[in-house]
Amino acid sequence: MTTSTRPPKFRKAVGLIAAAAMSADGDVDPAEVARYLMACEDLGIPEEEADRNLVAGFARLDSGEAASAVILEAASSVPRKLRPLCYELMVHVVGADRILAKEELDVLADVADALELSRAFTLGHMARFVRTNPDVRVPSVKVIGTMS
């Protein structure tokens, strides 16, 4: 069993935010879940814990809690130095199905706001992600430009 050096609150926050981000377009794609689990493995988060945190996020959303509320609460427990990593992880998770829907871009903007990341950072990372993953479809560059 792998033990993560990441703080427990960060590990839980990643699962909660990932659940909100994945369900933004109304369809949780298996590729998104697989990418999330791979990313957690790379971070040293045991698969059982990653699963448990993701399921907890989906349960909160299924109970009617707004995705923005889940994101805001979870983001508050992410240490400042890990916030860019958390955002980058979410972009890669929702982009795993090779489609970044407008709803997903909106949720990523909420994540960036909740993590208090600069617009320059988020736009720069999104541009790099799209450039290095040419098979990812994005609604339009204009939509990306509206992310806060």
Reading the chain (148 residues) residue by residue, the pLDDT tens digits are 556 678 889 999 999 999 999 998 888 889 999 999 999 998 889 999 999 999 999 999 999 999 889 999 999 999 999 999 999 999 989 888 888 888 888 889 999 999 999 989 988 888 888 888 888 887 765 444 444 4
Which domain CATH number covers 102?
A: 1.10.3680
Domain around 133: 8-145
- SS3 of the chain: the string is CCCCCCCHHHHHHHHHHHHHHHCCCCCCCHHHHHHHHHHHHHCCCCHHHHHHHHHHHHHHHHCCCCHHHHHHHHHCCCCHHHHHHHHHHHHHHHHHHCECCHHHHHHHHHHHHHCCCCHHHHHHHHHHHHHHCCCCECCCHHHHHCCC
Is 51 within a domain? yes
Domain count, the chain: 1
Is 1 within a domain? no
Is 2 within a domain? no
